[in-house]
Amino acid sequence: MFRVNPRFLVVFSGHLLPLSVCRMSRLLSFKSVFTHFVLAVSVFCAGVALNAQARSPALDQGAEDKQSSVALADLPPQGRATHDKIMHGGPFPYEKDGSVFGNRERQLPVAKRGYYREYTVKTPGSRDRGAKRIVCGGKPETPDTCFYTDDHYASFRKIVP
């Protein structure tokens, strides 16, 4: 007759292991799973909190509050000409005119990607596109709002009629 000492437990493949080892391995396994679960929940909660903070209306409001405005009549002549071309659908002199503006620095009110488009304002004497731009939000054919920058996106002023 086969007798098993109570201090031992028969496990897979007929091997005998001390009961204390089996209990310890189950405890370590549980601790490992529990630790990973707590870590995963913490990372998830931190991501949700950062995402909610990034989309909060306070951020959107802050971007609008930072904006000053400029009358269309006060733009340089090249700016008024560019604005007129935007309102009439072109033609635009630069290939990049009408391309999507990402607003990565969040200088403008937060909107979905593709909402803003940028247009070059000619800079007299400049060999390249220069630093002046008009960025408009909304449909390219009928923008909701436009902003003017003369310092290559470092600051913007909302264009008002």
Helices in 55-114 by DSSP H: which ranges? 57-66, 77-87
Cα dist from 11 to 19, 23, 75, whole Å:
10, 12, 84
Closest residue by Cα to residue 147 from 157, 132, 138: 157
CA atoms within 13 A on the CB side of 68: 3
47: burial class by Cβ within 10 Å (0-12, 13-18, 19+)? exposed
> In sequence order, which residues have a C-beta less than 8 Å from that of residue 91 and are 6 or more positions away?
85
The C-alpha angle with vertex 113 and arms to 147 and 57, in degrees rounded to 5, equals 75
Site of tokens 């931190």: 46
Active site residues: 118, 152
Our measurement of the distance from residue 34's CA atom to the centroid of its chain's CA atoms, rounded to an integer in Å, reads: 32
